[in-house]
Amino acid sequence: MSLFSKEPEKSTHTEQSARPHTGSAPAAPPITPPAQKIVEPAAAAAACLDCGTKISGKLHFEGPARIDGNIDGEIDGKEITIGESAVVTAQIRADSIIVCGEVKGEITATQRIEIRSTAKIIGNIAAPKLIIQEGAIFEGQCSMRHKSEGDHKVRAAS
């Protein structure tokens, strides 16, 4: 051991110089950033009205939307999710609607309505497909006719 000797220790390992190499030495591997939170798939809401949001009026969404705030008025869109913390007093119309929070008003979907166990709905709902989870509260009337079925008129034969 040459811990305290005046002679430099001979090593079998080659040490790298602190000077940059200009030759064809391989580059150091890139530094990877720390792990990040995984983002939900593209089907996640494009628009989000978070807790603390209060809106009165008409809302129209072109893409998926999630509402966690307080809304009073009308909501129109393609895919609407009413979050657990949401309190909505509105008429809601969309292709697909998922309710996890509280809604007072009429809900109409062209494809389906899903009422999760944490939901409380007071009002009428209409959709060709309806899913109600155990524990959900629903007070109102339900219509499950396809849109085209309600448009037919029966004429009396003369």
Summarised one tens digit per residue, pLDDT across range 61-93 is 999 999 999 999 999 999 999 999 999 999 999
47 confidence band (pLDDT: 50, 70, 90): confident
Residue with tokens 């409380």: 120
Q: Is the dihedral of CA 15, 18, 21, 26 positive or negative?
A: positive
Average pLDDT, the chain: 79
**DSSP strand pairing (87-99 vs 102-104):** parallel
Confidence of residue 119 (pLDDT cuts 50, 70, 90): very high
| Residue 46's pLDDT band (cuts 50, 70, 90) | confident
Round to whole Å and give the CA distance between 29 and 34. 15
Please tell me the pTM assigned to this model: 0.65
Extract the tokens encoding 93: 């119309």
For the chain, give the percent of residues with pLDDT over 90.
Answer: 59
- CA distances (Å), origin 30, targets 26, 27, 36, 114, 151: 12, 9, 17, 46, 63
Mean pLDDT of 50-63: 93
Q: How high is the pLDDT of residue 38?
A: 39
- H/E stretch holding 99 reads strand 87-99
Confidence label for 152 from pLDDT (cuts 50, 70 and 90): very low
How many residues are present in the chain? 158
Is the pLDDT at 142 greater than 50, yes or no?
Answer: yes
The per-type count for the chain, helices as H runs and strands as E runs, is 1, 13
pLDDT at 41: 42
Query: Using CA atoms in the order 67, 45, 62, 140, what is the torsion angle rounded to 10 degrees?
Result: -40
Name the token pair of 2: 């040459």
- Of 85, 146, 94, 136, the C-alpha closest to 115 is 136
Per the listing, tokens 């998926």 go with 64
Q: What is the pLDDT of residue 22?
A: 54
d(CA 127, CA 138): 14
Residue 24 banded pLDDT, cuts 50, 70, 90: low
Section 41-51 average pLDDT: 71
- pLDDT (0 to 100) of residue 145: 78
